[in-house]
């Protein structure tokens, strides 16, 4: 694998390191394929949309990179008439429900109980509630009332990696078991109009949650190093904007090139800090930002296409679930098999504009 820099296997390092013991990813049961979703958009909004917008729906929803997506709702037509109050109520119910499922599954896989949890970090960008999702999970799961909890908002699709950074710091400071949760109910910010950003968003985004259990045992994935980059002057190229008191997604057509540059820079920051090169990395877990984003990031970093099978598969089966998605990709890599000593870099990008990367090593 070439020079390994700080990838030490010494006992002293093992004692001071944090590890991902388990990963659990969940989606809501309702699943819609892209053909059905396109027909529904046409049916619900034919009187509102222009001929150009209808053509864009046909083109975007028929793109072969995505086959199906999952949504946290019982009737997809409900998104048309939902009031802001109904939306935040659905966000609250479904985000807690999916998060609880993911945490329970991850704890079971790690062989630890809720009473072992000492820290919890939850991130989301598709709904704001106060108190945060973490307090609902304390109640729902019966976590210790002394659990140190943090709710992170506003990081967009890249939010899982800053979450892990906080969780890692929490674990190293206090020990025990720390749970990292990323959850998004993208359907709770659904909007439709003659706006390319909204049409693209409605063909791409979906709902899901992921949880990871962190501990100090040298088992699972070692959290080796991380890096982050922010380009705040480009925030208007990917963000939520408020209109009439509701969130509307805003995406620039120039986003692939912007993300390409930011992702390449953050990965270079990460690998150079460890004396590594792109070719030294065995596996890559890209956030599924969409076909053009994936292609741009691939070319910017210089990752061979064959190392993106997991990313492509998750995009096809689940679309873009915002922040939890990169965990789905890592879970897929783990499912396909990863040997002890092999490395993986998680790369995620989103609002800010921001890009984040985390280097993992399989124990």
pLDDT digits (tens, 9 = 90+) for 120-151: 999 999 999 999 999 999 999 999 999 999 99
pLDDT in tens, 14-54: 457 999 999 999 999 999 999 999 999 999 998 899 999 99
Sign for the pseudo-dihedral over CA of 301, 306, 308, 312: positive
In the predicted model, is pLDDT for residue 284 greater than 50?
yes
**Rounded to an integer, what distance in angstroms lies between the CA atom of residue 325 and that of residue 186?**
12
**How much of the chain is in helix, strand and coil states, percent to nearest 5?**
45, 25, 30
Strands (DSSP E) along 231-302, which ranges? 238-243, 246-251, 283-286
Residue 50 per-residue DSSP state: -
- Taking the CB of residue 211, how many other CB atoms lie within 10 A of it? 30
Predicted local distance difference test score (pLDDT) of residue 152 = 97
**Rounded to an integer, what distance in angstroms lies between the CA atom of residue 318 and that of residue 258?**
24
Indicate the pLDDT class of residue 113, thresholds 50, 70 and 90.
very high
In the predicted model, is pLDDT for residue 3 greater than 80?
no
**Rounded to an integer, what distance in angstroms lies between the CA atom of residue 222 and that of residue 149?**
22
Q: What is the mean pLDDT of residues 6-20?
A: 57
Cβ atoms 281, 271 nearer than 8 A: yes
Tokens 């939890």 correspond to what residue?
324
Q: What is the mean pLDDT of residues 101-120?
A: 98
Cβ atoms 275, 5 nearer than 8 A: yes
In the predicted model, is pLDDT for residue 12 greater than 60?
no
Q: What is the mean pLDDT of residues 304-328?
A: 98
* Percentage of the residues of the chain whose pLDDT score is greater than 70: 96
Read off the tokens for 43: 């049916």
pLDDT in tens, 157-192: 999 999 999 999 999 999 999 999 999 999 999 998
Indicate the pLDDT class of residue 7, thresholds 50, 70 and 90.
very low
Predicted local distance difference test score (pLDDT) of residue 238 = 86
Indicate the pLDDT class of residue 78, thresholds 50, 70 and 90.
confident
Cβ atoms 319, 184 nearer than 8 A: no
Is the whole model's pTM more than 0.85, yes or no?
yes
Q: What is the set of domains in the chain, with CATH numbers?
A: 23-215 (3.40.47.10), 220-362 (3.40.47.10)
Strands (DSSP E) along the chain, which ranges? 19-26, 30-33, 68-71, 117-124, 148-153, 177-185, 207-215, 221-230, 238-243, 246-251, 283-286, 343-350, 354-362
- Nearest C-alpha neighbor of 84 from the set 182, 208, 190, 156: 190
In the predicted model, is pLDDT for residue 6 greater than 80?
no
Long-range CB pairs of 235-243 (<8 Å, 24+ gap) are: 235/351, 235/352, 235/353, 237/353, 238/156, 238/350, 238/351, 238/352, 238/353, 239/156, 239/351, 240/125, 240/156, 240/189, 240/351
Beta-bridged to residue 52, according to DSSP, are none
**Rounded to an integer, what distance in angstroms lies between the CA atom of residue 355 and that of residue 337?**
27
């Amino acid at each position: 694998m070439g020079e390994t820099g700080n990838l030490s296997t010494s006992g002293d390092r093992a004692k001071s390191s944090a590890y991902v013991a388990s990963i659990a990813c969940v989606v809501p049961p309702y699943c819609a394929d892209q053909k059905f979703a396109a027909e529904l958009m046409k049916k619900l909004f034919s009187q509102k949309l222009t001929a150009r917008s209808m053509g864009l729906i046909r083109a975007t929803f028929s793109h072969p990179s995505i086959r199906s997506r999952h949504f946290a709702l019982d009737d997809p037509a409900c998104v048309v008439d939902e009031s802001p109050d109904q939306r935040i109520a659905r966000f609250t119910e479904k985000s807690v429900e999916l998060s609880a499922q993911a945490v329970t599954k991850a704890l079971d896989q790690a062989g630890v109980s809720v009473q072992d949890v000492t820290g919890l970090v939850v991130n989301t960008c598709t709904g704001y509630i106060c108190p945060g999702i973490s307090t609902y999970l304390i109640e729902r799961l019966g976590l210790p009332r002394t659990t140190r909890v943090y709710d992170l908002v506003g990081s967009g699709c890249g939010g899982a990696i800053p979450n892990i950074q906080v969780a890692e710091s929490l674990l190293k400071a206090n020990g025990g078991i720390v749970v990292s949760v990323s959850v998004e109910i993208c359907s709770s910010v659904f909007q439709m109009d003659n706006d390319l950003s909204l049409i693209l968003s409605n063909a791409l985004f979906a709902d899901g949650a992921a949880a990871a259990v962190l501990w100090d045992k040298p088992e699972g994935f070692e959290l080796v190093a991380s890096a982050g980059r922010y380009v705040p002057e480009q925030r208007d190229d990917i963000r939520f904007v408020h209109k009439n008191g509701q969130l509307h997604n805003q995406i620039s057509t120039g986003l692939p090139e912007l993300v390409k540059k930011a992702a390449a820079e953050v990965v270079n920051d990460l690998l150079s800090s460890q004396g590594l090169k792109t070719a030294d990395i065995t596996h890559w877990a890209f956030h599924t930002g969409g076909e053009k984003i994936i292609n741009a990031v691939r070319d910017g970093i210089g990752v061979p296409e064959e190392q993106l099978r997991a990313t492509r598969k998750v995009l096809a089966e689940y679309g873009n679930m915002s922040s939890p998605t990169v965990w789905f990709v890592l879970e897929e890599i783990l499912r396909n098999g990863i040997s002890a000593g092999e490395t993986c870099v998680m790369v995620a990008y989103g609002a800010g504009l921001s890009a984040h990367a985390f280097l993992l090593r399989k124990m």
